[in-house]
Chains A and B, each alone.
Chain A
Amino acid sequence: ETGVTQTPRHLVMGMTNKKSLKCEQHLGHNAMYWYKQSAKKPLELMFVYNFKEQTENNSVPSRFSPECPNSSHLFLHLHTLQPEDSALYLCASSQGASGESEQFFGPGTRLTVL
Protein backbone atom coordinates (compact mmCIF):
# COMPACT_ATOMS: atom_id res chain seq x y z
CA GLU A 1 0.00 0.00 0.00
CA THR A 2 1.20 3.49 -0.78
CA GLY A 3 0.05 6.99 0.06
CA VAL A 4 -2.96 7.53 2.30
CA THR A 5 -5.63 4.84 2.59
CA GLN A 6 -9.07 5.03 4.19
CA THR A 7 -11.54 2.34 5.18
CA PRO A 8 -14.35 1.80 4.70
CA ARG A 9 -14.92 3.65 1.44
CA HIS A 10 -18.68 3.74 2.01
CA LEU A 11 -20.65 3.53 5.26
CA VAL A 12 -24.36 3.67 5.99
CA MET A 13 -25.37 3.90 9.63
CA GLY A 14 -28.38 4.65 11.79
CA MET A 15 -28.41 7.46 14.30
CA THR A 16 -28.00 5.05 17.23
CA ASN A 17 -25.07 3.12 15.75
CA LYS A 18 -21.41 3.36 16.71
CA LYS A 19 -18.88 3.06 13.94
CA SER A 20 -15.27 4.02 13.25
CA LEU A 21 -13.43 5.38 10.22
CA LYS A 22 -9.81 4.38 9.72
CA CYS A 23 -6.98 6.20 8.00
CA GLU A 24 -3.45 4.95 7.43
CA GLN A 25 -0.55 6.79 5.84
CA HIS A 26 2.50 5.06 4.36
CA LEU A 27 4.50 8.24 3.74
CA GLY A 28 6.43 8.55 6.99
CA HIS A 29 4.60 11.77 7.85
CA ASN A 30 4.15 13.20 11.33
CA ALA A 31 0.89 15.10 10.99
CA MET A 32 -2.57 13.76 10.17
CA TYR A 33 -5.87 15.50 9.58
CA TRP A 34 -9.59 14.86 9.34
CA TYR A 35 -11.59 17.04 6.94
CA LYS A 36 -15.34 17.01 6.20
CA GLN A 37 -16.82 17.73 2.79
CA SER A 38 -20.57 18.33 2.82
CA ALA A 39 -22.67 18.96 -0.23
CA LYS A 40 -22.43 22.54 -1.46
CA LYS A 41 -19.95 23.58 1.27
CA PRO A 42 -16.16 24.00 1.13
CA LEU A 43 -13.99 21.32 2.62
CA GLU A 44 -13.60 22.08 6.32
CA LEU A 45 -11.05 20.99 8.87
CA MET A 46 -12.15 18.86 11.80
CA PHE A 47 -9.00 17.78 13.65
CA VAL A 48 -5.20 18.00 13.40
CA TYR A 49 -2.74 15.61 15.02
CA ASN A 50 1.01 16.17 15.14
CA PHE A 51 3.23 13.41 16.54
CA LYS A 52 0.07 11.72 17.95
CA GLU A 53 -0.98 14.86 19.84
CA GLN A 54 -4.14 16.73 18.93
CA THR A 55 -3.19 20.29 18.03
CA GLU A 56 -6.43 21.58 16.53
CA ASN A 57 -10.10 20.88 17.09
CA ASN A 58 -12.29 23.03 14.88
CA SER A 59 -15.25 23.15 17.28
CA VAL A 60 -16.35 19.66 16.28
CA PRO A 61 -19.32 18.14 18.18
CA SER A 62 -18.42 15.47 20.71
CA ARG A 63 -20.30 12.80 18.73
CA PHE A 64 -17.10 12.75 16.62
CA SER A 65 -14.18 11.37 18.62
CA PRO A 66 -10.72 11.15 17.00
CA GLU A 67 -7.95 8.79 18.03
CA CYS A 68 -4.32 8.77 16.90
CA PRO A 69 -2.48 5.78 18.39
CA ASN A 70 0.67 6.44 16.34
CA SER A 71 1.89 8.72 13.55
CA SER A 72 0.69 6.32 10.84
CA HIS A 73 -2.89 5.70 11.98
CA LEU A 74 -5.84 7.96 12.60
CA PHE A 75 -9.37 6.96 13.57
CA LEU A 76 -12.65 8.84 13.76
CA HIS A 77 -15.13 7.22 16.13
CA LEU A 78 -18.75 8.03 15.41
CA HIS A 79 -21.74 7.73 17.75
CA THR A 80 -25.29 9.06 17.80
CA LEU A 81 -24.79 10.95 14.55
CA GLN A 82 -27.42 13.09 12.85
CA PRO A 83 -28.55 12.94 9.21
CA GLU A 84 -26.79 16.27 8.58
CA ASP A 85 -23.49 14.53 9.39
CA SER A 86 -23.76 12.69 6.08
CA ALA A 87 -20.72 13.77 4.07
CA LEU A 88 -17.42 12.69 2.55
CA TYR A 89 -14.81 12.40 5.30
CA LEU A 90 -11.27 12.90 4.08
CA CYS A 91 -8.04 12.08 5.84
CA ALA A 92 -4.75 13.78 4.98
CA SER A 93 -1.15 13.69 6.13
CA SER A 94 1.91 15.90 5.88
CA GLN A 95 5.44 16.20 7.16
CA GLY A 96 4.07 18.09 10.10
CA ALA A 97 7.04 19.91 11.54
CA SER A 98 7.43 22.21 8.55
CA GLY A 99 4.92 24.89 7.62
CA GLU A 100 5.91 24.46 4.01
CA SER A 101 4.91 20.80 3.71
CA GLU A 102 2.43 19.49 1.19
CA GLN A 103 -0.72 17.66 2.29
CA PHE A 104 -1.67 14.35 0.74
CA PHE A 105 -5.24 13.12 0.86
CA GLY A 106 -6.87 9.72 1.03
CA PRO A 107 -9.83 8.68 -1.16
CA GLY A 108 -12.35 9.46 1.56
CA THR A 109 -15.20 7.63 3.29
CA ARG A 110 -18.69 8.43 2.02
CA LEU A 111 -20.89 8.42 5.13
CA THR A 112 -24.67 8.29 5.05
CA VAL A 113 -26.61 8.66 8.30
CA LEU A 114 -30.18 7.46 8.15
Chain B
Amino acid sequence: KQEVTQIPAALSVPEGENLVLNCSFTDSAIYNLQWFRQDPGKGLTSLLLIQSSQREQTSGRLNASLDKSSGRSTLYIAASQPGDSATYLCAVRGAGRRALTFGSGTRLQVQP
Protein backbone atom coordinates (compact mmCIF):
# COMPACT_ATOMS: atom_id res chain seq x y z
CA LYS B 1 0.00 0.00 0.00
CA GLN B 2 1.38 3.40 -1.01
CA GLU B 3 2.29 5.75 1.82
CA VAL B 4 3.28 9.37 1.38
CA THR B 5 5.22 11.29 4.02
CA GLN B 6 5.91 15.00 4.12
CA ILE B 7 8.61 16.65 6.18
CA PRO B 8 8.53 19.03 7.95
CA ALA B 9 4.94 19.11 9.18
CA ALA B 10 5.22 22.85 9.78
CA LEU B 11 7.69 25.53 8.79
CA SER B 12 8.01 29.22 9.62
CA VAL B 13 10.46 31.40 7.71
CA PRO B 14 11.09 35.12 7.25
CA GLU B 15 10.10 36.73 3.99
CA GLY B 16 12.66 36.40 1.19
CA GLU B 17 14.11 33.04 2.20
CA ASN B 18 14.47 30.17 -0.22
CA LEU B 19 12.99 26.97 1.17
CA VAL B 20 12.60 23.27 0.40
CA LEU B 21 9.65 21.03 1.23
CA ASN B 22 10.17 17.29 1.18
CA CYS B 23 7.93 14.42 0.11
CA SER B 24 8.69 10.70 0.15
CA PHE B 25 6.65 7.73 -1.06
CA THR B 26 7.05 4.02 -0.46
CA ASP B 27 6.08 2.52 -3.83
CA SER B 28 8.08 3.84 -6.79
CA ALA B 29 5.59 2.47 -9.35
CA ILE B 30 3.85 5.76 -9.98
CA TYR B 31 2.34 7.54 -12.96
CA ASN B 32 2.94 11.02 -11.66
CA LEU B 33 3.29 13.26 -8.63
CA GLN B 34 1.39 16.48 -7.97
CA TRP B 35 2.09 19.32 -5.59
CA PHE B 36 -0.92 21.27 -4.32
CA ARG B 37 -1.50 24.33 -2.23
CA GLN B 38 -4.40 24.54 0.22
CA ASP B 39 -5.45 27.72 1.99
CA PRO B 40 -7.29 27.32 5.33
CA GLY B 41 -10.77 25.85 4.84
CA LYS B 42 -10.43 25.91 1.06
CA GLY B 43 -9.99 23.44 -1.78
CA LEU B 44 -6.75 22.43 -3.46
CA THR B 45 -4.90 24.42 -6.10
CA SER B 46 -2.62 22.36 -8.34
CA LEU B 47 0.89 23.85 -8.46
CA LEU B 48 2.98 21.39 -10.43
CA LEU B 49 2.55 17.99 -12.02
CA ILE B 50 5.60 15.80 -12.66
CA GLN B 51 5.21 12.72 -14.84
CA SER B 52 7.14 9.61 -13.84
CA SER B 53 9.48 10.07 -16.82
CA GLN B 54 10.38 13.62 -15.81
CA ARG B 55 12.97 14.89 -13.34
CA GLU B 56 11.61 18.34 -12.59
CA GLN B 57 9.02 20.96 -13.38
CA THR B 58 9.16 24.72 -12.91
CA SER B 59 6.48 27.37 -12.58
CA GLY B 60 7.55 30.88 -11.63
CA ARG B 61 9.27 30.76 -8.24
CA LEU B 62 8.41 27.10 -7.77
CA ASN B 63 10.54 24.15 -8.81
CA ALA B 64 9.63 20.54 -8.13
CA SER B 65 11.98 17.61 -8.57
CA LEU B 66 11.29 13.89 -8.70
CA ASP B 67 13.62 10.98 -7.99
CA LYS B 68 11.35 8.02 -8.61
CA SER B 69 13.91 5.34 -7.81
CA SER B 70 14.50 6.69 -4.32
CA GLY B 71 10.84 7.64 -3.79
CA ARG B 72 11.48 11.33 -3.18
CA SER B 73 10.27 14.69 -4.40
CA THR B 74 11.14 18.21 -3.32
CA LEU B 75 9.32 21.50 -3.81
CA TYR B 76 11.66 24.49 -3.90
CA ILE B 77 10.17 27.93 -3.30
CA ALA B 78 12.43 30.84 -4.16
CA ALA B 79 12.26 34.24 -2.48
CA SER B 80 9.28 33.34 -0.28
CA GLN B 81 6.50 35.88 0.27
CA PRO B 82 3.78 36.18 2.94
CA GLY B 83 1.26 35.21 0.25
CA ASP B 84 2.96 31.82 0.02
CA SER B 85 1.64 30.97 3.50
CA ALA B 86 -0.54 27.88 3.11
CA THR B 87 -0.44 24.11 3.48
CA TYR B 88 1.46 22.34 0.71
CA LEU B 89 0.34 18.83 -0.17
CA CYS B 90 2.20 16.19 -2.13
CA ALA B 91 0.22 13.42 -3.85
CA VAL B 92 1.20 10.47 -6.01
CA ARG B 93 -0.83 8.57 -8.58
CA GLY B 94 0.07 4.91 -8.44
CA ALA B 95 0.40 2.74 -11.51
CA GLY B 96 -2.94 1.13 -12.31
CA ARG B 97 -4.92 3.58 -10.16
CA ARG B 98 -6.67 6.81 -10.99
CA ALA B 99 -6.86 8.18 -7.47
CA LEU B 100 -4.16 10.11 -5.67
CA THR B 101 -2.52 9.16 -2.38
CA PHE B 102 -1.82 12.24 -0.30
CA GLY B 103 0.70 13.16 2.33
CA SER B 104 -0.34 15.02 5.47
CA GLY B 105 1.07 18.28 4.18
CA THR B 106 3.55 20.93 5.28
CA ARG B 107 2.03 24.02 6.86
CA LEU B 108 4.13 27.00 5.75
CA GLN B 109 4.10 30.41 7.41
CA VAL B 110 6.12 33.20 5.80
CA GLN B 111 6.66 36.08 8.20
CA PRO B 112 6.67 39.62 6.75
Q: Which residues of A contact B (CB under 8 A)?
A: 6, 31, 33, 41-45, 48, 50, 55-56, 58, 88, 90, 92, 94, 96, 99-100, 102-108, 110
Contact with A along B42-85 (1 / 0, CB 8 A): 11111001010000000000000000000000000000000000
Known A-B contacts: A102-B49, A108-B43. Give 9 more (CB < 8 A). A41-B104, A42-B102, A42-B105, A43-B91, A88-B41, A90-B44, A102-B46, A103-B46, A107-B43
**Chain A residues near B102 (CB-CB < 8 A):** 42-44
Task: Kindly state the separation between the CA atoms of A81 and B4 in the bound complex, as whole angstroms.
Answer: 29
CB closest residue in chain B, given A50: B98
Q: Helix, strand, loop or mixed for chain A's interface?
A: strand
The 8 closest A-B pairs by CB, nearest first: A99-B31, A107-B43, A105-B44, A43-B102, A45-B99, A102-B49, A108-B43, A42-B102
**Chain B residues near A55 (CB-CB < 8 A):** 98
Task: Kindly state the separation between the CA atoms of A45 and B93 in the bound complex, as whole angstroms.
Answer: 12
**Chain B residues near A43 (CB-CB < 8 A):** 44, 89, 91, 100, 102
23 A-B interface contacts by CB (under 8 A): A6-B43, A33-B98, A43-B89, A43-B91, A44-B102, A48-B99, A56-B98, A90-B44, A92-B44, A94-B98, A99-B93, A99-B95, A99-B96, A100-B31, A100-B51, A102-B32, A103-B34, A103-B46, A104-B46, A105-B45, A106-B43, A107-B43, A108-B42
